[in-house]
């Protein structure tokens, strides 16, 4: 009843191509942003900020990166965690080796390093497709982690190969408290997510989707395959790289290359499958699902019913339930949770008169 576009007329092309064509959506989005930026830092406690919101935002960004490559451009990749590692180690080295390096520039450069590496490992995509490409990107996963462990220069010759994030200071403001870290993460993620949203709506994104849907046809209508695919690899890796840098600087503080292992790559892949392949919002919903559900189950099992269930049984039950829920959602909604949201919106537009 309240959610419909009757009476909202579009008088210009600009109005027609807005991200949120319906006024209710615009209001909703602004309200959400205002809530996240202005209210959350004041009402959320340390636990919520540091253990829930920051990781969800960071993993959401990484999933968004993979979604650009897999969901929009149709190139399967298993190397997302490795590109995150490149971003994290790149940022660390720029901060370490260049005096007075501003953090935001370092993150940008770290992301560009990841983009360069992404292009390199994207080259095979010109020849191979589908699962075979996934195997080729698997090489990136193992090779990059190996390089970071093997050559001490990357970790400044730390005896155990870990890097410790330097203190982040932007324009004299110290980003140490959870609130500040959260705000910085949120800002970076918001800017990049809006950028991605616009990218996939523009000719860039349309080219990606054309290549995804049928690359021979795309080539016939004049889309240059090499450029489009490598562009997708570069942008996707850039997003992953920035996510990796945030993971190191805003979340963990100290990271080892082994932390960016295949498990993490799989996790990011699951996030977009659960959240919705080819959906910006799906990346964040998927990240929230994969990051928070195990925590929720753990709280439930070890907290309240923990007294009645032996701990090893509880831990295994969590995994079983987590797995079953993934299967359940994939059966109920193969297009991901974002699709459920879309369906709900369509229903709402008709409600309460479905005919």
Partner 1 sequence: MKLRNTLMAVAAVATVFTAGHAVAQQEQYIGLPSYRVGPFGASGAALYGGWIDYMAMINARDGGVNGVTLTWEECETEYNNARGVECYERMKNRGPTGNSVFQPLSTGITYSVLDRVAEDKIPMVTIGYGRTDAADGTVFPWVFPMISTYWNQASAIMNYIGEKEGGMQNLRGKKIGLLYHDSAYGAESHAVMDRLAEMHGFSVVKIAVASPGNEQQAQWLQIRRERPDYVILWGWGVMNPTAIRTASRTGYPVEKIVGVWWSGAEEDVVPAGEAAKGYTAAGFNPAGTDFGVIQDIMSHVYAHNRGNMSDRSRVGSVLYNRGVVHGIITVEAIRTAQEQFGTGRPMTGEEMRWGFENLNIDEARLVALGADGFMPNLQITCEDHEGSGLLKFQQWDGEKWTVVSDWISGDRELVRGMIQESAAAYAAEKGITPRDCSAQ
Compute the distance between CA of residue 289 and CA of residue 271 in angstroms, rounded to an integer. Answer: 7
Q: Is 160 in the site for partner 1 (CB under 8 A)?
A: yes
Q: 194 or 319, CB closer to partner 1?
A: 319
Cross-strand bridge partners of residue 164: 254
Continuous H helices in 202-336: 203-213, 215-220, 225-246, 262-275, 280-298, 311-332
**Whole-number minimum distance, CB 148 to partner 1, in Å?**
11
Among 258, 324, 330, 349, binds partner 1 (CB under 8 A): 258
Compute the distance between CA of residue 63 and CA of residue 66 in angstroms, rounded to an integer. Answer: 5
| Residue 105, token pair as written in the block | 């520039």
**Whole-number minimum distance, CB 352 to partner 1, in Å?**
22
Which of 21, 129, 31, 111 is CA-nearest to residue 64? 111
Q: Is 153 in the site for partner 1 (CB under 8 A)?
A: no
Q: Is 172 in the site for partner 1 (CB under 8 A)?
A: no
Q: Is 270 in the site for partner 1 (CB under 8 A)?
A: no
| Residue 214, token pair as written in the block | 């049928």
DSSP letter string over 269-296? HHHHHHH-TT-HHHHHHHHHHHHHHHHH
The answer for residues whose C-beta is within 8 angstroms of residue 217's C-beta and 6 or more apart is 210
Strand ranges inside the chain, DSSP E: 163-164, 169-170, 173-174, 254-255
Could you tell me which stretch among 29-37, 43-51, 221-229, 234-242 binds partner 1 (CB under 8 A)?
A: 43-51
Compute the distance between CA of residue 326 and CA of residue 333 in angstroms, rounded to an integer. Answer: 10
| Interacting positions 111-150 with partner 1 (CB under 8 A) | 142, 146, 149
Q: 14 or 304, CB closer to partner 1?
A: 304
**Whole-number minimum distance, CB 302 to partner 1, in Å?**
5
Compute the distance between CA of residue 79 and CA of residue 137 in angstroms, rounded to an integer. Answer: 5
Q: Is 41 in the site for partner 1 (CB under 8 A)?
A: no
Q: Is 319 in the site for partner 1 (CB under 8 A)?
A: yes
Compute the distance between CA of residue 136 and CA of residue 123 in angstroms, rounded to an integer. Answer: 10
Q: 36 or 51, CB closer to partner 1?
A: 51
> How many of the chain's residues bind partner 1 (CB under 8 A)?
44
| Interacting positions 54-93 with partner 1 (CB under 8 A) | 55
**Whole-number minimum distance, CB 345 to partner 1, in Å?**
26
**Whole-number minimum distance, CB 69 to partner 1, in Å?**
22
Among 8, 46, 198, 324, binds partner 1 (CB under 8 A): 46
Could you tell me which stretch among 116-124, 208-216, 308-316, 323-331 binds partner 1 (CB under 8 A)?
A: 308-316
Could you tell me which stretch among 104-112, 183-191, 221-229, 248-256 binds partner 1 (CB under 8 A)?
A: 248-256
DSSP state of 18: -
Compute the distance between CA of residue 233 and CA of residue 121 in angstroms, rounded to an integer. Answer: 8
DSSP state of 170: E
Q: Is 302 in the site for partner 1 (CB under 8 A)?
A: yes
Among 41, 102, 124, 306, binds partner 1 (CB under 8 A): 306
Residues that bind partner 1 (CB under 8 A): 46-47, 50-52, 55, 142, 146, 149, 159-162, 164, 166-167, 251-259, 261, 263, 291, 294-295, 298-299, 302-304, 306, 310-312, 314-316, 318-319
């Amino acid at each position: 009843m309240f959610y419909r576009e009757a009476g909202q007329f579009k008088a210009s092309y600009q109005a027609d191509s807005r991200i949120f064509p319906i006024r209710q959506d615009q209001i909703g989005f602004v309200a959400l942003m205002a809530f996240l930026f202005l209210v959350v830092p004041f009402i959320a406690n340390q636990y919520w900020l540091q253990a829930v919101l920051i990781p969800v935002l960071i993993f959401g960004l990484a999933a968004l990166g993979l979604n650009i490559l897999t969901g929009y451009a149709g190139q399967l990749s298993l190397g997302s965690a490795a590109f995150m590692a490149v971003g994290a180690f790149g940022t660390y080295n720029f901060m370490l080796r260049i005096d007075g390096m501003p953090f935001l520039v370092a993150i940008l450069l770290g992301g560009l390093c990841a983009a360069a590496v992404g292009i390199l490992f994207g080259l095979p995509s010109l020849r191979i497709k589908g699962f075979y490409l996934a195997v080729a990107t698997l090489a990136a996963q193992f090779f990059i982690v190996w390089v970071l462990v093997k050559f001490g220069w990357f970790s400044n010759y730390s005896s155990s190969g870990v890097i410790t994030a330097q203190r982040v200071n932007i324009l004299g403001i110290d980003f140490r408290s959870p609130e500040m870290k959260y705000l910085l993460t949120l800002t970076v993620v918001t800017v990049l997510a809006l950028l991605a949203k616009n990218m996939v709506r523009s000719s860039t994104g349309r080219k990606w989707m054309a290549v995804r849907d049928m690359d021979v046809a795309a080539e016939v209508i004049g889309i240059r395959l090499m450029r489009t695919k490598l562009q997708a690899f570069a942008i996707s890796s850039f997003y992953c790289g920035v996510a990796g840098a945030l993971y190191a600087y805003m979340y963990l503080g100290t990271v080892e290359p082994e932390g960016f292992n295949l498990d993490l790559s799989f996790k990011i892949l699951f996030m977009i499958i659960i959240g919705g392949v080819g959906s910006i919002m799906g990346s964040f919903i998927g990240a929230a699902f994969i990051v928070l559900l195990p925590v929720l189950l753990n709280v439930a099992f070890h907290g309240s019913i923990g007294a009645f269930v032996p701990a090893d049984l509880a831990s295994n039950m969590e995994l079983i339930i987590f797995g079953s829920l993934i299967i359940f959602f994939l059966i109920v909604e193969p297009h991901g949770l974002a699709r459920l949201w879309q369906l709900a919106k369509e229903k709402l537009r008709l409600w309460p008169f479905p005919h």
